[in-house]
Amino acid sequence: MIILAISDLHYSNLSRNQMQKHNPYGALSATLLKKTVDRLLYMNKKPDLIIITGDLLQGDKSPNAKLDLITLKGVLTRTAIPYLTLPGNHDTDVDTFNQIMGTRPGLHKYGEYGFIVYNDIFEEYPEYDTCQRTKNSIDETAQILKDNPELLLIALQHAPIYPSIDSEYPYNLSNANQVIDSYADSNIILSLSGHFHEGIAPKKHRGVIYHTIPALSKAPFPLSLIELDGNNITIKNLSLKMEESFITDVHCHTEHAYCGSTTDTAQCIALSQALGVSKLCITEHSFQLYFPKKTAMSFIWQSHPEMVEQAWRTPECSRMKNYHDFVSGFRSDYVKAGLEVDLYNNGQLLISPEDMEFGWDVIVGAVHFIEGFKREKINQSDAEKLFLRDVEHLLINGVHVLAHPFRFFGRNQLETPKHLFQPVAEMLAHYHVAAEINYHTHFPEVDFVKICVENRVKLALGSDTHELGEAGEFWPHINLMKRSGIQQEEMKSLIFQI
């Protein structure tokens, strides 16, 4: 059984209050929660259960707190993974919390394991300072063992039980020793807590493993990966923040993208900074800026140059200037401005001479759709010829990065032509254009990365953010480079920088 265990999100959006100044990342926690699941999926570790040990919210006294709780529940239910949540001292009242989140206190069975959820923080926690487990709850632990002798039992609570934390603030349960006795007598194999933001590494005491999960809302944004195999328990703390300090994101979309879902530039910037991205380029589709949505997404403009010329003659009807004005307002050493550009009219770059004068930091060339390509009428060989033609046209036109190489084939139910890896890499090297590593609806190929390195082609890292969960996520990119045989000390010199 694989468990994703997190704690202390301290999420505050609609319930934002003065306490948030002590936890500036709380506004990002809903996205960080989604990212924890995505990270494990990238690692091929799909969780069987998600556990959150309290303090989901920061806005405990706000009338909007339950709305923020609904946001978090939406993130959890969208994963379709079972979850257990329990209230912490910063959450809304216990009845409202349990009603919205749907986790009742007591025993929850998953296979051979029984998870006991304790709500003791609200039983004896009048001032959010001291917490005591009631005698009834302690007695219940023994009764659960008696009624379910076949289960391996795991205890979940907000306040840590063991070890004792040396602090003026009383993190531990005030009657922790009684609880320790009850756990030892009831054959509890694992106890999971939160509340103490630094977390405490797993410690075994009287046959029970105690683990205090660090706060997701604090850098480096940790999560615990717990793997259970009978009585065997493996716990690893992972971090969402990247250790590498040289990551440049060349490809992040904005509110201006028709194909975006939850893109929010301000949050993309905040997430990228928090997760260790050294530089972020806001890079929008030129075809979506020039044309209304229906026309843009039809790609009919590719073979109708008069439509393009009309858009350029009437700039007030396009959104290109609006987009440029938008990004120019916060362009900086950290945030750069760019475009993702397609071809039209048999190989011309879709950007007007006037708009090219804006001085973009990066132009990313993309093959989303090929003029003259009809899936039902063109075979694999002809598609490959058209693809090579368009790639060369992009490179000749002076783009800096080739976006998501070879994604075109998978999206059109064609085989990825591995025999083209070498000629494409040679073209990239000849025109001094970087190859993008991009995981948006695509899994890049290790062999192509290897061939690019052999041909001294720079590797551009792109989140291709269309929804907030993708912003600042570069674990798979770095992992692909490692799988390609690239050593850590080589990476910085191989990555394309703006």
Which band of pLDDT confidence, cut at 50, 70 and 90, is reported for residue 124? very low
Query: Count of H helices and E strands in the chain?
Result: 17, 20
Q: In sequence order, which residues have a C-beta less than 8 Å from that of residue 282 and are 6 or more positions away? A: 252, 253, 254, 265, 268, 327, 335, 336, 337, 338
Residue with tokens 């005591």: 132
Element (H, E) at 222: strand 222-229
Look at the alpha carbons of 92, 98, 104, 110 in this order and tell me if their dihedral is positive or negative.
Answer: negative
Q: Could you report how far apart the first and last alpha carbons of the chain are, in Å? A: 43
Is residue 24 pLDDT above 90, yes or no? no
Average pLDDT over residues 372-389: 91
Average pLDDT over residues 361-380: 92
Structure confidence by residue, pLDDT tens digits, 434-453: 999 999 999 999 999 999 99
pLDDT digits 0-9 by tens, 454-484:
999 999 999 999 999 999 999 999 999 999 9
> pLDDT over 70 for what percent of the chain?
96
- Averaged pLDDT for residues 396-419: 97
pLDDT, tens digit (0-9, with 9 covering 90-100), for 47-84:
999 999 999 998 666 778 889 999 999 999 999 999 99
Question: Over 80: is that where the pLDDT of 19 sits?
Answer: no
3 state DSSP class of 446:
helix
**Cα 352 to Cα 258: distance, rounded to the nearest angstrom:** 20
Dihedral pair phi/psi, residue 224, rounded to 5°: -110, 130
Question: Average of pLDDT values for 103-120?
Answer: 96
Q: Summarize pLDDT for 145-203 with one digit per residue, the tens.
A: 999 999 999 999 999 999 999 998 889 998 999 999 999 999 999 999 999 999 999 99
Q: How many whole angstroms separate alpha carbon 442 and alpha carbon 406?
A: 9
pLDDT digit string, tens, across residues 29-43: 999 999 999 999 999
The average confidence (pLDDT) of the chain is 94
Domains contained in the chain, CATH given: 2-239 (3.60.21.10), 248-494 (3.20.20.140)
C-alpha closest to that of 248 among 219, 279, 213: 279
State the pLDDT confidence band at 16, using cuts at 50, 70 and 90. Answer: low
Radius of gyration of the chain (CA): 26
pLDDT of residue 20: 52
Q: Provide the pLDDT for residue 125.
A: 47
Average pLDDT of the residues in 349-355: 97
Tokens at 370, concatenated:
């090929």
pLDDT at site 65: 85
pLDDT at 18 exceeding the cut of 50: no
Question: If you average pLDDT over residues 242-246, what whole number do you get?
Answer: 94
DSSP string across 269-329: HHHHHHTT-SEEEEEEEHHHHHS-HHHHHHTGGGG-HHHHHHHHH-GGGSSHHHHHHHHHT
Cα 138 → chain centroid: 38
In this prediction, residue 337 carries a pLDDT of 98
Alpha-carbon span 330 to 280, nearest angstrom: 12
Q: Which of 207, 259, 302, 306 is nearest to 465 (CA)?
A: 259
Question: What's the confidence (pLDDT) of residue 58?
Answer: 87
Count CB neighbours of 276 within 10 A: 20
Which residues are CB-contacts of 4 (< 8 A; sequence separation ≥ 6)? 36, 37, 40, 47, 49, 50, 51, 81, 223, 224, 225, 226
DSSP state, residue 158: S
Residue 21's pLDDT is what? 55
| pLDDT above 60 for 123 | no
Q: Provide the b/e sequence for 162-198 (b: ≥16 CB within 10 Å).
A: beebeeeeebbbebbeebbebbeebebbbbbbbbbbe
pLDDT, one tens digit per residue, over 200-220 is 999 999 999 999 999 999 999
User: How far, in Å, CA of 98 to CA of 87, rounded?
Assistant: 8
Q: Using CA atoms, how far apart are residues 478 and 471, in angstroms rounded to an integer? A: 15
In angstroms, rounded to a whole number, what is the distance separating the alpha carbons of residues 191 and 195?
Answer: 14
Phi, psi of 261 (to 5 degrees): -115, -65
